Structure 1
């Protein structure tokens, strides 16, 4: 796949893995939409790489649509990289009682539903592209975690959300194969990002 000249959306592009991805894509000639809730940081990254910033809560349909619309202003949307996510640490039963249900629900909403929201909206736009000589119309990469397979104490919500991302990857890939759109997921281990540094020891 040739990156140069292609349009990509990177969610969570204001920091961590998302920022690194946005910068790598831009360095290789891509046009990048940085979609993130962190307006100041996201706008700064976008300005630095010659991209476009869109404030985006990935779990909200209108925000996802705005990110796709911003990408289409740059050309045909060819790539989506889902890096947006949250990682609260809370035990099933802790010193203050049972795990807060709202925290669990929000984690699944952002990490799992948010990823699917962006996938479905991006795929709709990609399906309208003229296929390349290889038959490809686009590619989507989501971020799960090693926690999807080997979650630690306090990671019930995070592991569940990332396990969901893993679980939906193959069905979505099969759904979109006829459209020439590839869908895949990576499951990183531990590396230094703001999300990691925000976790307790």
Structure 2
């Protein structure tokens, strides 16, 4: 896929994985639209290479308006927006709130699906870029928690497990439109949220990674997105980006 002159859409683009991915795509010549919540955009240092639009990924109208504002072929969509609350089913605080579980599913799973379906509709109307009818790729973000959810990750693990489960079904659904779907399942990534836990916690987490014994860098996630965009035969797969970590119960 030729990214120069193409358009890309990245959610959660104001920080972390989304910001790194938006910048990497822009550096490759793509015209990038980044979606994030208004509050995130107000506090973030926004790179000039990315056009930012305030939107809630669970809101159909807001996402549709953002996609309608893209003037050109949409080739790459990357879903990075999400939340990761920590709550046990039962704890000293009581029973897990149903509303928190529903919110996590709504953002991480339903929000991902909402962006994917609306973006796919636009992509399907664009002209193919090769003789096989290829039009683009959707890259969704899961987590190793989809496979090895830790104590307190019940809502997060369920939401990310849903993203993994959608991958092959979505790839099959969208094959006739020439749209690929690939999911990345990161391990422990050095993001601002993780950095807030402090250097001692980060060092301890890094030691749990098989090799290399460090946290993943957002730029490595972004580099994998570019590889997926470049590799038209990558489709319907979830790729673990985790240094061979296998999460323990806690």
**Could you tell me the TM-score, scaled by structure 1's length?**
0.92
2:102 is the counterpart of 1:105: yes
Q: Distance in 2 between matches of 1:69 and 1:197?
A: 36
Change in Cα spacing, 1:77 to 1:41, as seen in structure 2 (3 Å) is: farther
Alpha-carbon deviation of 1:18? Answer: 0.3
Q: Distance in 2 between matches of 1:168 and 1:49?
A: 33
Give unpaired runs (5+ residues) of structure 1.
none
2:167 is the counterpart of 1:165: no
Q: Distance in 2 between matches of 1:93 and 1:158?
A: 16
Q: Distance in 2 between matches of 1:41 and 1:132?
A: 38
CA contact (8 A) 1:89 1:199 kept: no
Aligned positions of 1:96-135 closer than 5 A: 96-134=93-131, 135=133
Deviates more, 1:107-116 or 1:129-138: 129-138
Q: Distance in 2 between matches of 1:174 and 1:198?
A: 40
Alpha-carbon deviation of 1:49? Answer: 3.6
Aligned positions of 1:64-103 closer than 5 A: 64-71=63-70, 73=71, 75-103=72-100
Q: Distance in 2 between matches of 1:89 and 1:198?
A: 15
SS at 2:69's partner residue?
helix
| Corresponding pairs, count | 196
CA contact (8 A) 1:26 1:49 kept: no
Q: Distance in 2 between matches of 1:88 and 1:34?
A: 24
Indicate the structure (1 or 2) with the bigger Cα radius of gyration: 2
Cα deviation code 1:28-84 (max 9, x no counterpart): 111000100112246x42xx242211111101101111221122x3x1211100000
Change in Cα spacing, 1:178 to 1:138, as seen in structure 2 (3 Å) is: same
**Could you tell me the TM-score, scaled by structure 2's length?**
0.75
List structure 1 runs of 4+ shifted beyond 4 angstroms: 197-201
SS at 1:127's partner residue?
helix
What residue is the counterpart of 2:219 in the other structure?
Answer: none
Change in Cα spacing, 1:102 to 1:198, as seen in structure 2 (3 Å) is: farther
Give the root-mean-square deviation of aligned CA atoms.
1.6
SS at 2:177's partner residue?
coil
